[in-house]
């Protein structure tokens, strides 16, 4: 199954019920991409390194929290699927407040009824894919996509304008830490809560000075990273 929406909607179950084979996670496991609040709380329980965060389902509480932050930028994320447009890296409190207000005003529909506000991470981004049956994992080489729309890394973020692999800047220790400290505990935690993950699991990570930290998980292959990996 290529895109995330049918997986999050439960297409794997529809195949199983018809006694057909399907490569992709259950609806419950696909929540790792379908809900950022779910993903962040799962990572917190599993001890996965990720940006510090708070989740909100009310605008007033989110705005009050923004007033307590001493440093900007900060990152505001819609909980649900927003076609790659649900994340705002806000350079100022005003920009963060605008992102919070537009989410609660319905810019992302139901996907924005809850939001995550998290610490802004600095470093180099990588996409790491594994195939898993819910217990073991088979990793691919890491890839990086070019997020910005214009040449020279300028302009707004996109889903990815192009990609390359392997990553000559990533040492084997960092790659091992992504597999063992981010991906393996996430797979384990999903199994523990009764939502074992089978299919392709995609970790978006930021390699920071303190080591790799998870930005997000996707329940599918990445585009355009998959082209360079395959």
The residues binding ligand AMP (CB under 6 A) are 51, 75, 77, 87, 89, 118-121, 125, 147, 157, 204, 215-216
| Binding-site size, ligand GLY (CB under 6 A) | 7
- Residue 144 CB, shortest distance to ligand GLY, in Å, is 10
- Residue 111 CB, shortest distance to ligand GLY, in Å, is 15
What CA–CA distances, in Å, run from 93 to 43, 63, 76, 108? 26, 9, 11, 21
Stretch that binds ligand GLY, among 72-80, 169-177, 183-191, 219-227 (CB under 6 A): 219-227
Give whichever of 87 and 177 is closer to ligand AMP, judged by the CB atom: 87
What gap in Å lies between CA 90 and CA 100, rounded to an integer? Answer: 10
Phi/psi for 82 (5° steps) reads -140, 30
Burial of 52 (0-12, 13-18, 19+ CB in 10 A): exposed
- β partners of residue 53: 118
Could you tell me if 32 and 190 are in contact, meaning their C-beta atoms sit under 8 angstroms apart?
Answer: yes
Site pattern 73..102 for ligand GLY (x: CB under 6 A): ------------------------------
What CA–CA distances, in Å, run from 155 to 11, 143, 152, 177? 36, 21, 9, 31
Stretch that binds ligand GLY, among 66-74, 102-110, 189-197, 220-228 (CB under 6 A): 220-228
What gap in Å lies between CA 184 and CA 188, rounded to an integer? Answer: 6
Give whichever of 62 and 215 is closer to ligand GLY, judged by the CB atom: 215
Could you tell me if 116 and 40 are in contact, meaning their C-beta atoms sit under 8 angstroms apart?
Answer: yes
**Residue 159 lies near ligand GLY (rule: CB under 6 A):** yes
Identified binder of ligand GLY from the candidate list 6, 223, 228, 229, rule CB under 6 A? 223
Stretch that binds ligand GLY, among 6-14, 57-65, 128-136, 218-226 (CB under 6 A): 218-226
By CB under 6 A, name the binding residues for ligand GLY.
145, 159-160, 218, 222-223, 225
């Amino acid at each position: 199954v290529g895109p995330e929406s049918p997986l999050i909607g439960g297409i794997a179950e529809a195949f199983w019920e018809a006694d057909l084979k399907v490569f992709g996670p259950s609806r419950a496991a696909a929540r790792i991409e379908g809900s950022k609040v779910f993903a962040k709380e799962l990572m917190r329980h599993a001890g996965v390194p990720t940006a510090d965060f708070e989740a909100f389902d009310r605008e007033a509480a989110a705005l009050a929290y923004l007033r307590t932050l001493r440093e900007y930028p900060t990152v505001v994320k819609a909980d649900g699927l927003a076609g790659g447009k649900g994340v705002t890296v806000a350079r100022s409190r005003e920009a963060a407040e605008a992102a919070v207000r537009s989410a609660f005003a319905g810019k992302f529909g139901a996907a924005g009824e809850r939001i995550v506000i998290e610490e802004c991470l600095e470093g180099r981004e990588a996409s790491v894919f594994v195939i898993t049956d819910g217990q073991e994992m088979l990793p691919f080489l890491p890839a990086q996509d070019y997020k910005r729309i214009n040449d020279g890394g300028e302009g707004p973020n996109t889903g990815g304008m192009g990609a390359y692999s392997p990553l000559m800047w990533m040492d084997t220790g960092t790659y091992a830490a992504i597999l063992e400290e981010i991906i393996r505990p996430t797979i384990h935690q999903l199994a523990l809560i009764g939502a074992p993950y089978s299919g392709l699991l995609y970790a978006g990570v930021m390699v920071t000075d303190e080591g790799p930290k998870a930005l997000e998980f996707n329940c599918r292959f990445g585009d355009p990273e998959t082209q360079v990996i395959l």
